[in-house]
Amino acid sequence: MTPTRAMEGSRGQNSSTRDKLHRGRNVALAFTMQGWGQLVNQVILILCLLAFHRGGSPPAYGELSTQWTFRISFAFIGIITLWLIYHRVYKLQYADRQLRLSKRKSSVTGYDKRSLQLVVTHYWHRLLGMAGAWFCNDFMFYGILHSFQADSGNKIFQSVFIKIISPNSTFMGGWLWNLGNVGVSLVGYYMAALLIDHRFYGRRRMQAIGFLADFILFIIPPTLFTSLSQPGTPIKIFQFAYFFSSFWNQFGPNSTTFLLAAEVYPAPIRSTAHGGVWKIGRIGSHCGLQLSWK
């Protein structure tokens, strides 16, 4: 629902014009919160482990430090979730009342099935295109490259990546490497927000160039895995490919699929169509993970 709300949330004079001109930027900026969530999560984990383990260095972490680190990280997001529930229930009652009045005025008692049927009939190619793009993105982002000798996927297997880049890194060192990777991703998020509405770059070029860049960066490491795993310059090339792939995924298909899957459908079924396409993306991530684990 986030992209739908970001597209339709403008209010005031000339809101429709403002939405049209900056719609992509609004959605992309909402999407950057995913990156900030990853960054804050990693910072909280690092700080908690430093606090409860007195520095976060080996030997192995004890039950006290790991239990407190785990529970505080969940308690932090739990507080935010409770605030969101409070805000939704008590601060947005007017929105619910307006929706009920609008449905009553339009004689709509339930879901607009006719709109969904028309979309499947007339826009099936859009559904197919966006579902395919999201499937491919999540397939490679979460678990492709099963030909890696180390079973690497950009997110789930990031600890394997970091172990290759820095073999002697401690557990805390691995988290610091990951913090750097999230920072590189955030640059990609904001570059996407900056250029997604630009007439000389825009959505289509961003998605096409992002897919191409990720394809190249994901093909190089498994193809040259043995030579790139050597110390010195080769491992720096491996490190560059790892971080740069995170940048291009955010400054490319991960941001554009989030926007386009909501943008190409009529308003009455926009959220449902976007949700359906998103589920195909989750199937892609599941298939990629299963392939990598095998």
* Cα 36 from chain centre: 11
| Cα separation values, 92 from 88, 97, 107, 111, 178, Å | 5, 9, 23, 21, 37
Give the integer Cα–Cα distance in Å for 41 and 59.
24
- Helix H segments across 251-269? 253-263
Burial class (CB in 10 A: 0-12, 13-18, 19+), 275: middle
**Is 227 part of any domain?**
yes
Burial of 155 (0-12, 13-18, 19+ CB in 10 A): middle
Return the CATH number at 176. Answer: 1.20.1250.20
In a domain, 168, yes or no: yes
Q: Residue 199 carries which DSSP code?
A: T
Residue-number span of the structural domain to which 183 is assigned: 112-293
271 lies in some domain: yes
Residue pLDDT, tens place only, 229-252? 787 888 888 888 888 988 999 999
What's the domain count of the chain? 1
Cα 230 from Cα 238, distance rounded (Å)? 10
- Burial (Cβ within 10 Å: 0-12, 13-18, ≥19) of residue 253: buried
pLDDT in single tens digits along all 294 residues of the chain: 788 777 776 554 444 445 567 788 888 998 999 899 989 998 998 888 888 876 555 556 777 888 888 899 899 989 999 998 888 888 776 666 766 777 677 666 666 677 778 778 888 888 888 889 889 888 877 765 433 333 334 455 566 677 777 777 777 777 888 888 889 999 999 999 999 998 889 898 999 999 999 889 888 887 888 888 787 888 888 888 888 988 999 999 989 988 888 888 877 778 888 888 888 988 988 887 777 666
Q: Is residue 165 situated within a structural domain?
A: yes
Is 58 inside a domain boundary? no
In this structure, is residue 205 part of a structural domain? yes
Q: Please report whether residue 158 resides in a domain.
A: yes
118 occurs within a structural domain = yes
Task: For residues 161 and 165, give the distance between their C-alpha atoms in angstroms, rounded to a whole number.
Answer: 6
